[in-house]
Amino acid sequence: MKALFRLSASTASSSGDVDPIQIKSTAMVTIAGTESSKLSRLKSAVALIPIIQSGIDDKRLSRERAVSMISFIEWAASTKAEYPVEQQLLNEVFAGLTHLKHALDKG
């Protein structure tokens, strides 16, 4: 994995050089060559699974809302894994989807 630093517009001079003192210390871990939005979608999908499961179990989430949220998870998972971390997230998403669909069929 490669660590990148977010730079604000004020960190670069007019010549394009970056002042290392003004670099924000917020490190963002990403995979070189991978769009961060792809990883963000997968991470969001994984994070939604227990929220949806809890809502279904407690009957606080309507079936329609759960189906809508599950649609997002399916969309996020409709990507091809290029790296092991992506495959791991996809495996978690697919396992979670199986449980959520089973819970919806039960409820």
- Which pLDDT tens digit goes with each residue over 36-93? 788 999 999 999 999 999 999 999 999 999 999 999 999 999 999 988 999 999 999 9
In the predicted structure, residue 18 carries a pLDDT above the cut 90: no
CA distances from 54 to 5, 51, 93 (A): 36, 5, 16
d(CA 101, CA 67): 9
Instruction: Assess contact for 59 and 47: CB atoms under 8 A.
Output: no
Q: What's the rounded Cα separation, in Å, for the pair 59 and 3?
A: 42
Where would I find the H helices in the chain?
A: 36-57, 63-76, 84-106
Give the residue with greater pLDDT, 9 vs 29: 29
Query: Do 34 and 2 meet the contact criterion of CB atoms below 8 Å apart?
Result: no
Q: What integer pLDDT is reported at residue 31 of this predicted model? A: 53
Instruction: Report the predicted TM-score, pTM, of the whole model to 2 decimal places.
Output: 0.65
